[in-house]
Amino acid sequence: MTDVVDDLDARAPLPSIYDYTDLIREDRLDGRLYTDPIVHDDEFDRIWHRGWVYVAHTSEVAKPGDYAIRSMGRQPIIVSRDKAGDINVLLNRCPHRGNRVVNDQLGNSMNFRCAYHAWTFTNSGDLLGVPHPQGYGENFDRSKLGLAKVPRVEIYRGFIFASLSPTGISLDEHLGRSKHLIDRLCEVAPTGEIEVKSGSLKHRMRCNWKMIVENDTDGYHPPFVHSSLFKVSINPKRAARQAIPKPPPDPVVRDWGNGSGELDYTERKRESGPLGWLKRFPQAVVDDYLAKLTERVGAERAMDIALEGPPHATIFPNLFIALNNIAVVQPLEANLTVQWVTPVTFGGAPALDETIITQTQGGLGPAGLLFADDDEIAERNQLGLAAGNPRWLYLARGLGREELDESNGSVVSDSSDETSQRAFWRRYRSEMMDDSPAGVVPDAFEGGCL
């Protein structure tokens, strides 16, 4: 098997013209972080082509032969399930002359054949045959000319992560506490397993990818950016009936370390009853769901899960769990990003599927009642940042009122505070400052400060 990073191995350190501790300060950011193509190239070297990146979910390639094409940074990849049922992450690049071998977004095949000169590979990447092999002479070694394998692949509860560096921190070290965010999503399924089987909305935006990730857990903007939705969806009759409205519990924002942030409105969700975070379902649907979940986790835990639902949180660098959705950013240029939004359904609870799909397409994606407006704001942000000078953006909101939540070790603050953004930037800075080919263990958790 060809080693994809033959040459990368020899390529340390990775010099940059920037000192990222200068660009990223405790309370401010240099605007060039979003606009400069050099920063963007550094990110490919240090984050997308070195560190752990979420690539796909195992249920998207559920059966032997299933495959999906994706990308890691600039690299085109194939995620496939082979005959033995194992997951492979391969470079989608023919070792002969570089043709992109697999071109359908999704499919099922045990073999891949390059269209250019018909070299044929197994779906785990081995070269099966080439036309007229005698032309290569006697020392032609097929075993060295397979599709290159992405050197490290690890799966956590069906979430496939890959790293283009052959050495470096483990997925466990990369995720740290954010593993529990994936757990909180999976636990909602009566089977304990989510399913990704309902397609994706792909959304192209003229903005930097980091702006999207930061906005995902930004609790400051919704009343302003989404005011049109709030105005039309508040039902005046219902509001009038609640003569003295009970103030809902305030959401909070959390820094989980390792670059992960959460906009946590668990307490507010609990007020809406079991499954209320998704929709007010008929009692029979709720009872059936609770009964199935109880079989796996017991009645008390089942009720808690039904009340709290999945989190609203980002995992560095590209994964956003938005309740029953997975959103993934794919950087193209400093000012161009594609975001995939994919509804997640819950194993053992098919009665929820249609509602989940309806909710996803209502709020999210390019036409979403929420996301279309986030997009417009992000694009205008990119236009404003073109100014370049003055240099600084202000990232200090809530710096003085963050607290350690002793119950779980996160740093917590008012939902409007920039705590989760500072979490992202702290991780980002440690990746960007590291010149080794392998990547570093994220900074020890040190609160919300950069």
Partner 1 sequence: MVEMDEMRGVSLSDADGPNFGGYSRREIIDFLYREAQLADEHKYADWEGLWTDDGIYWVPVDGNDTDPTSSVSFIYDNRARLRTRIGMLLTGERHSQVPPSDLARVISNVLIHDQAPGEDIEVTAAFVLIEYRREHIIWAGRVKYLLRPTPDGLKIALKKIVLVDSYDAIRKLGFIL
**Which residues sit at the interface with Fe ion, rule CB under 5 A?**
374
Least separation in angstroms between CB 162 and ligand FES: 23
Contacts of 6 (CB under 8 A, 6+ apart): none
Q: How far apart are CA 368 and CA 51, in angstroms?
A: 31
- CB-wise, 303 or 372, nearer to partner 1? 372
Rule CB under 8 A: say whether 228 interacts with partner 1.
yes
Report DSSP state, residue 302. H
| Window of 93-101, 221-229, 385-393, 421-429 that interacts with partner 1 by CB under 8 A | 221-229
Rule CB under 8 A: say whether 365 interacts with partner 1.
yes
Q: How far apart are CA 23 and CA 391, in angstroms?
A: 9
Least separation in angstroms between CB 224 and partner 1: 9
Report DSSP state, residue 392. E
- CB-wise, 142 or 180, nearer to ligand FES? 142
Q: How far apart are CA 100 and CA 270, in angstroms?
A: 49
Rule CB under 8 A: say whether 134 interacts with partner 1.
no
Q: How many residues at the interface with partner 1, by CB under 8 A?
A: 40
Candidates 129, 133, 199, 248; binder of partner 1 (CB under 8 A) is 199
- CB-wise, 99 or 191, nearer to ligand FES? 99
* Binding partner selected for residue 286 from Fe ion, partner 1, ligand FES, none, CB under the kind-specific 5 to 8 Å limit: none
Least separation in angstroms between CB 5 and ligand FES: 21
- CB-wise, 66 or 374, nearer to Fe ion? 374
* Residue 4 near residue 151 (C-beta atoms within 8 A): yes
Least separation in angstroms between CB 105 and ligand FES: 20
* Residue 337 near residue 205 (C-beta atoms within 8 A): yes
What distances in angstroms separate CA 160 from CA 57, 157, 319, 321, 371, one per listed residue? 6, 8, 11, 14, 26
Please list the residues that pair with 159 across neighbouring strands: 57, 156
Least separation in angstroms between CB 266 and Fe ion: 19
To which residue do tokens 């660098």 refer? 317
Contacts of 360 (CB under 8 A, 6+ apart): 198, 201, 324, 325, 341, 343
- CB-wise, 317 or 368, nearer to Fe ion? 368
Least separation in angstroms between CB 48 and ligand FES: 25
* Residue 353 near residue 198 (C-beta atoms within 8 A): yes
Interface residue list for ligand FES (CB under 6 A): 94, 96-97, 99, 114, 116-117, 119
Please list the residues that pair with 194 across neighbouring strands: 346
> If phi over 0 gives left and psi between -120 and 50 gives alpha, with beta otherwise, what is residue 230?
alpha
Return the residue nearest Fe ion (CB atom). Answer: 374
| Window of 14-22, 113-121, 279-287, 362-370 that interacts with partner 1 by CB under 8 A | 362-370
Rule CB under 8 A: say whether 103 interacts with partner 1.
no
- CB-wise, 131 or 247, nearer to ligand FES? 131
Tell how strand 106-108 and strand 87-91 pair up. unpaired
Name the residue among 122, 110, 170 with its Cα closest to residue 440: 170
Rule CB under 8 A: say whether 280 interacts with partner 1.
no
Within a 13 Å sphere around the CA of 45, how many CA atoms are in the beta-carbon half?
A: 20
| Window of 158-166, 285-293, 364-372, 435-443 that interacts with partner 1 by CB under 8 A | 364-372
Name the residue among 62, 303, 71, 86 with its Cα closest to residue 193: 62
* Binding partner selected for residue 353 from Fe ion, partner 1, ligand FES, none, CB under the kind-specific 5 to 8 Å limit: partner 1
- CB-wise, 134 or 233, nearer to partner 1? 233
Candidates 135, 137, 138, 231; binder of partner 1 (CB under 8 A) is 231
Give, in degrees to the nearest 5, the angle at Cα 114 between 113 and 117: 115
Least separation in angstroms between CB 437 and partner 1: 31
Least separation in angstroms between CB 114 and ligand FES: 3
Residues in touch with partner 1 (CB under 8 A): 105, 198-205, 225, 227-229, 231-233, 338-339, 341-343, 353-354, 357-358, 360-362, 365-367, 369, 371-373, 375-377, 379, 383
